[in-house]
Amino acid sequence: MESTKYIYWQDEGQWLGYLQDYPDYWTQGESLEDLQAHLRDLYLDLTSGEIPGVRKLAELTFQ
């Protein structure tokens, strides 16, 4: 089973969130479960190549 981390919060009755690896692409839902469904759909869109020029978060290590 595949998984990914996401950031979420509630604001004025809406649940907002984004995938940790894709911080530029936010979505919302009417409940936490609805938000999670939208995040799953977003993940599939972002990783399928359907959306061109997807920006992704990365970490750079210095020695």
* Domain definitions of the chain by residue range: 1-63
Name the pLDDT band for 50 (thresholds 50, 70, 90): confident
Averaged pLDDT, 25-44? 97
Q: How far is CA 13 from CA 8, 16, 52, 57, in A?
A: 13, 10, 32, 28
Q: What is the pLDDT of residue 1?
A: 84
CATH 3.30.300 matches 1-63: no
**What are residue 33's phi and psi, to 5 degrees?**
-65, -40
Task: Report yes or no on whether pTM surpasses 0.85.
Answer: yes
- Does the pLDDT value for residue 61 go beyond 90? yes
